[in-house]
Chains A and B, each alone.
Chain A
């Protein structure tokens, strides 16, 4: 074996060079970024999306299985009395995996971590029993800090209590929706990252360093062929518009290149009737050719359909 006998020095320099590069490009940035504390946005995002919205063993086919539900509460689930102000809680039913920030509070960063553990009792949350979380405000070292509150531990609200008082219209399936966003590749056209240099006016504030703690995947998108969506819910909060636009973007925007997502409706509409896609398409073609005055009606979606989650996710992007 000829080996590397002439290359002793070379191999060592190689190890040194590559190792140095790894230090600078992996170790330093990772230790720098992990020092940042989670912002409200990061807490909201991870609580609403749950553990992971890409491939993972709890949802291997990206169907939106085992995802948390966001619930807009107007009555106290224990006493059934109306509450002074509505609050948003995140329901993790039995078996739903918790997001990184709850499994590894270190991810939340200084302040948020301490408050979430000491006042929010997040370490007491159990996957087998389920838990209800909310974002609360507290004081850490004289500063106001938001933290994750495990309401199951602090108020005794169980997932069942909350689901009992929640109406379907109070529930947001944004976690399932983000899974659809990843699966359907919306991020090949849309970004979730307004750029720091020029996007403030049109697409809204670019995210900050702590806006992502605990989120996975971030699905920034790199290749923008369509509007940024990070704040789309505050530009446009119409469910009807979203519904028509997803069924066929050309109904509301004739020049759009966005694909039709009618297949996310599933087989049945809101009233349980089978959706006749072939008929719809034929009628739409007639409309396009000018043989009809109005386009066919977009079927209303079932409350457990994939499109419902996706629209919930869009509207949650404030």
Chain B
């Protein structure tokens, strides 16, 4: 890859940037889930690796969160955009070279940012933890070049219209840049007090709602029709999904602060808008499920479809939880408990990761024109992720309900800690399975690059049968 950084743009093989991003994403996935598993161990066994600032829970937690969000998820998005946007526009990526540099700067910046966070140098604002110089770096060297590349690719397309996936890509890139700059502005402009606290959650909410959720969905709008060969069930429903994301998902930021003293009108407004997120959610899930008509056997036989559809199915409980847990009637019980941690992992590790996983499987095979090295390893990856995640989700949901009960019955806090202990251990075991699955995946993709059977020109990888 590095040899192309200084090559002429025309000399760089199409797809290089996407491959670079794909492998970077998997490596960050391994690192990020490894850190997650380490943190989980610390919450189960507090004296596991102790007495050193760098291994204290408070120094490691945000490193995990940022490694998975800005390393794994966002890089997987970049990889997907770099091969899907040109594929749908029937052209080439605007600049492979920009893409390669983008990926380089991204890896360097993220490594730097995580090191800084690890040392405890933080803004003290959840999800916008990076200090502002790192934020500026990420805006200028990560998001803006990515957006430029994808926008120019779509503008230079050779097709008539723009397909659903690409609307989402271009709009989300626009929105994430705005969200990133506005959301981090309190640090830069030294805002303080409730305004700062509110903007923290405005950022956290919108980065999930206008970046992670829509881009993950956009990927499914591509993978499912592409692999099954069915056309998207309905473009109208796609429109409904798109517009309702822009209108409804961008507004309920305050529902993260339902128990804080924000203006009451803001909380009520956010809570109503939050329920309305069910509109894009239902539109999306039904559109994908109906696209599968007649091809359900692929849910069993094809690894990309299995990942995608599992992720879409997880969007159902995810959004039902999301819509209801943020209403005043329910939020007071589960706010700030493990329930929310379970929900966060259902969104990011369940729903979103499964869709991106499919995109990376499909994308790497397609660009490298190599058949997946081993179906067995891919199956193991799938099941380790699904079983590990399920253990995680169930145990943290139970822990959260225990905490909720502890809150309202005024149980001495330490008894809640004791009651949660078994679930903390279960979460650690579940999370470790996910980590192990990812190590297998990295090996599998590496072997695919080296030893995978070549896919003939004009064929899709899934048209060939698996060999191992």
Q: Which residues on A are within 8 Å of B, measured CB to CB? A: 1-4, 6-7, 13-14, 17-18, 21-22, 24-26, 28-30, 32-34, 36, 42, 46, 51-56, 60-62, 99-100, 107, 182-189, 191, 193, 195-199, 201-202, 206-209, 211-227, 249-250, 253, 255-263, 277, 281
Given A7-B162, A185-B62, A224-B337, CB of A277 within 8 Å of CB of B51: yes
Q: Do residues A26 and B182 form an inter-chain contact, with CB atoms below 8 A?
A: yes
Is B256 in contact with chain A by the CB < 8 A criterion?
yes
* A225-B338, A263-B51, A263-B53 given; 20 more Cβ-contact pairs under 8 Å: A3-B155, A6-B162, A21-B251, A25-B250, A26-B182, A30-B198, A54-B124, A60-B121, A183-B122, A188-B62, A193-B260, A209-B194, A216-B186, A216-B190, A219-B124, A222-B256, A222-B336, A224-B337, A255-B414, A261-B56
Q: Which residues of B contact A (CB under 8 A)?
A: 42-44, 46-47, 50-53, 56-59, 61-62, 89, 119-126, 131-132, 155-162, 171, 175, 178, 182, 186-187, 190-200, 202, 243, 246-247, 250-251, 253-254, 256-257, 259-263, 265-266, 269, 332, 335-338, 340-341, 403, 407-408, 410, 413-414, 417-418, 420-421, 424
> Which of A54, A198, A215 is the one whose CB lies under 8 Å from B332?
A198
> Cα distance A201–B247 when bound, in Å?
40
Query: In the bound complex, do residue A34 and residue B335 qualify as a contact, i.e. CB atoms below 8 Å apart?
Result: no
Which secondary structure dominates where chain A touches chain B?
Answer: loop
Task: Say yes or no: B124 contacts A182, CB within 8 Å.
Answer: yes
Q: A55-B123, A183-B120 are in contact. Are A14 and B336 (CB under 8 A)?
A: no
Which 7 A-B residue pairings sit nearest by Cβ, starting from the closest? A185-B58, A54-B124, A55-B131, A217-B124, A183-B120, A195-B259, A197-B332
Separation in Å of the B362 CB from the closest CB of chain A?
26
The reply to whether A185 and B192 form a contact with Cβ atoms under 8 Å apart is no
Q: A17-B246, A18-B175, A62-B121 are in contact. Are A262 and B194 (CB under 8 A)?
A: no
Which residues from B are CB-within-8-Å of A260?
46-47, 50-51
Please report the C-alpha to C-alpha distance between residue A213 and residue B195 in the assembled complex, in whole angstroms.
9
Q: Would you call B162 and A14 a contact (CB within 8 A)?
A: no
- Name the residue of chain A whose CB is nearest to the CB of B132: A55
- Chain A residues whose CB sits within 8 angstroms of the CB of B407 once the complex forms: 195, 198-199
Would you call A6 and B161 a contact (CB within 8 A)? yes
Given contacts A29-B198, A100-B190, A217-B125, contact A195 B332 (CB under 8 A): yes
* Closest beta carbon of chain A to B338's beta carbon, Å: 8
Question: Are B261 and A216 in touch, CB under 8 angstroms?
Answer: no
Which single residue of chain A is at the shortest CB-CB distance from B403? A224
B194: A residues at CB distance < 8 A: 33, 36, 209, 212-213, 218
Query: Nearest Cβ distance between residue B147 and chain A, in whole angstroms?
Result: 15
